[in-house]
Chain A
Amino acid sequence: MSSRAVGLGVAALLLAVPAVAQEVTIPTRSPRTGAVIFRGGGYKPRIDTEKALNGATPYKDTFGDASLLLIEAEIQRFFYQGIGTAGLGLGVGYGEKYADAKLDDGSAAADKAALKVLPIQLNAFYKFDYAAFRWGIPLVPYAKLGLVYSPWWMTKGSETELVEGDKASGGKWGWAGTAGVSFLLDVLEPRFARDFDSDLGVNHSYLFAEYTHADVNNFGGKGLNLSSRRWMFGLALDY
């Protein structure tokens, strides 16, 4: 092979590299219409604050100071995207807590007592993500206000408790306000974030922490008080 032929081959290769580079598509953002959120945290219902209990603490006596582990999933739909983002969200959670039932003398019984809740929440939210997208500040504060309905039931052994003819199950209405801040993960791996968008349609990913003030007691009605003040942590994915 002559040196002239080798030279032509190298030249052709060099010409081909820019051509290949020109084949790479310029990343584009997919439409952003909503979000999916997964969160978890401790949930300690304010059962012992019910006035009728006159200071008695049945929750603390049964479970001590421990909280329920509450996990939630939420889907959001964006209706406004301008200076920040606003929309509606619908979330469903589940939490449970087990402890030994007590004998009359206060000692532990063989049966397990449990409290289980299934909070459902419809909320309106606003998050200030303008600074994150416009100026690259990766923190997104947000707030939510919503309506809560929380089915609950208490079991002893394998059955729902029945005391004095009252079955230990029902549901409570209430409201909840939440404030939190999200950390935009895209800033850590921008290229990965773009791939995530182009491959799966996930525009942005966040880790967040939020504080919820929930009054779930049938808006001040009598009976079980499932209100709480809690911190939750989780992952949010805009799509």
Chain B
Amino acid sequence: MRLPFIGLLLFASTAVAQVGPTVQFATAATGSTNLTITVPKSECGNARRFTWTRTGNICGGSLFIYATTNACGTEPTATDLKLETLTATSATTGTVNFSVAELLAARGTSADGGPAATCDTQQTEISFNLCASARQLGGLYGTDCQTAYANVGAPAYVMKFDPVKPKAPTIAKVIVRDSALSVQVDGAETDSTVVVEAAMVASATTDAGTDDAGTDDAGTDDAGTDDAGTDLDAGTDLDAGTDGGGLGLVGALALEGTTGPVTRVTKASGEGNVVVTGLTNGVTYRLQATIIDAAGNVSDGSSQVDATPVKSNGLFDAYKDAGGEESGGCAATGGGIAGGAVLAALGIWLSSRRKVS
């Protein structure tokens, strides 16, 4: 009885010593809970960085770190992007950097992969799994190196390429307000961002766009064109239009026939109208809306709409127009705060007195 027990103990200790390989991935490209990195078309060529740490013993060949559109757990194929090939003597930590462009290129390099897709030719969404595969230990005693590969990487990061830009929205309604325009934008998809840009419509005496706007005779125009001299700012939107950041893709290029700086307001879809504030009453502004989806793809611009904020009169306007002498302001409020503090102290005193039986 004692002998079999000792033998079992010895086998067990051997099995414990032989641990199969595992790989732990980490990246700053996404949060700890969301393992999908969504890549817009504009960032197709940007590499994403992952760190890896391996533990356990590699047996019978290599441990592969790779990205594939297939499920993890096999030896990488020719259409997968092979990132690392590790042996028992390789480092136990390292980093891999790869972009969607490289992933697409790798898919087309095999005979059956067809022509390699590029960031421009890939027109549909495609997802790549970050994998680590290796042979596992097995057999009767857990010490035999298996022939089949298994998935040994975690967590299961996915790089999702979303090249599809949202449909262009429509400006359904513009509510004219005092020094502001409230814009109702339809057609925004869930989890997207609505962007509304506004710029002053160029008057007959001003040139549209970025040329000579600074030389406009602002002095003869109304308040709206007094800012014509700042058209240089609008000119910088040309640069914005050429960058790949997803922001500023419209701007002066899209808002044709406008002058002065472009006011840009963003709002999450489904949160109501976009209100562009700080506008000048009586000046006509040209509005255009775009949508930025969750991946960062920017839609085409909506049709442009012109609107003019108008002054409205609230009670204080009417009161002052009628000759009311109230000036309001901090002085009265300050006295009120002091008075209120005294009253509050009295209230506390009143309520804190002990009950008298």
Interface residues of A, Cβ cutoff 8 Å to B? 31, 33-34, 47, 50, 52-54, 56-59, 61-63, 75-77, 88, 90, 101-104, 109-111, 113-115, 120, 122, 149, 151, 154-157, 161, 163-164, 166-173, 222-224
What are some 29 contacts across the A-B interface (CB < 8 A)?
A31-B355, A31-B357, A33-B356, A53-B324, A58-B315, A58-B318, A58-B322, A77-B350, A77-B353, A90-B350, A101-B313, A102-B313, A103-B310, A110-B312, A111-B312, A115-B315, A120-B343, A149-B340, A154-B314, A156-B317, A157-B177, A161-B316, A163-B317, A166-B328, A168-B328, A170-B332, A170-B336, A173-B335, A223-B325
- Bound-complex Cα distance A1 to B316 (A): 92
Q: How many A-B residue pairs have CB under 8 A?
A: 158
B328 touching A157, Cβ below 8 Å: no
Contact of A75 among B318, B321, B323, B347 (CB under 8 A): B347
- Bound-complex Cα distance A63 to B346 (A): 36
Contact of B178 among A53, A109, A164, A172 (CB under 8 A): A109
B316 touching A171, Cβ below 8 Å: no
Q: Which residues of A contact B343 (CB under 8 A)?
A: 90, 120, 122, 149
Interface residues of B, Cβ cutoff 8 Å to A? 175-178, 180, 182, 310-329, 331-333, 335-336, 339-340, 343, 346-347, 350-351, 353, 355-357
Q: Which residues of A contact B318 (CB under 8 A)?
A: 58, 61-62, 102
Q: Which residues of A contact B356 (CB under 8 A)?
A: 31, 33
Q: Which residues of A contact B178 (CB under 8 A)?
A: 101, 109, 111, 156-157
Q: Which residues of A contact B316 (CB under 8 A)?
A: 154, 156, 161, 163, 166, 168
Q: Which residues of B contact A59 (CB under 8 A)?
A: 315, 319
A58 touching B355, Cβ below 8 Å: no
Closest 8 CB pairs of A and B: A171-B336, A109-B312, A56-B322, A170-B332, A156-B314, A113-B314, A58-B318, A168-B316
Q: Which residues of B contact A52 (CB under 8 A)?
A: 323-325
- Bound-complex Cα distance A44 to B324 (A): 18
Known contacts A151-B336, A170-B333, then 9 further A-B pairs from the complex at CB < 8 Å, ordered by chain A residue: A53-B322, A149-B339, A151-B340, A163-B316, A166-B320, A166-B327, A170-B327, A171-B335, A223-B325
Closest to A115 in B: B315
Closest to B352 in A: A77
Give A214 Cβ to nearest chain B Cβ, in Å: 16
Q: Which residues of B contact A54 (CB under 8 A)?
A: 322-323
Closest to A57 in B: B322
Contact of A110 among B176, B325, B326 (CB under 8 A): B176
Contact A224/B323 with A58-B315, A120-B340, A169-B333 known, Cβ cut-off 8 Å? no
Contact of B328 among A76, A122, A170 (CB under 8 A): A170
Give A170 Cβ to nearest chain B Cβ, in Å: 3
Give B69 Cβ to nearest chain A Cβ, in Å: 49
Q: Which residues of A contact B324 (CB under 8 A)?
A: 47, 50, 52-53, 58, 223-224
Give B17 Cβ to nearest chain A Cβ, in Å: 70
- Bound-complex Cα distance A53 to B324 (A): 5
Q: Which residues of A contact B350 (CB under 8 A)?
A: 34, 75-77, 88, 90
- Bound-complex Cα distance A33 to B325 (A): 45
Give A132 Cβ to nearest chain B Cβ, in Å: 21
B314 touching A155, Cβ below 8 Å: yes
A171 touching B333, Cβ below 8 Å: yes
Q: Which residues of A contact B328 (CB under 8 A)?
A: 166-170, 224
Give A218 Cβ to nearest chain B Cβ, in Å: 8
Give B335 Cβ to nearest chain A Cβ, in Å: 6
Q: Which residues of A contact B327 (CB under 8 A)?
A: 166, 170, 223
Q: Which residues of B contact A53 (CB under 8 A)?
A: 319, 322-324
- Bound-complex Cα distance A129 to B350 (A): 21
Q: Which residues of A contact B317 (CB under 8 A)?
A: 101, 156, 161, 163
- Bound-complex Cα distance A47 to B326 (A): 11
A101 touching B347, Cβ below 8 Å: no
Closest to B311 in A: A104
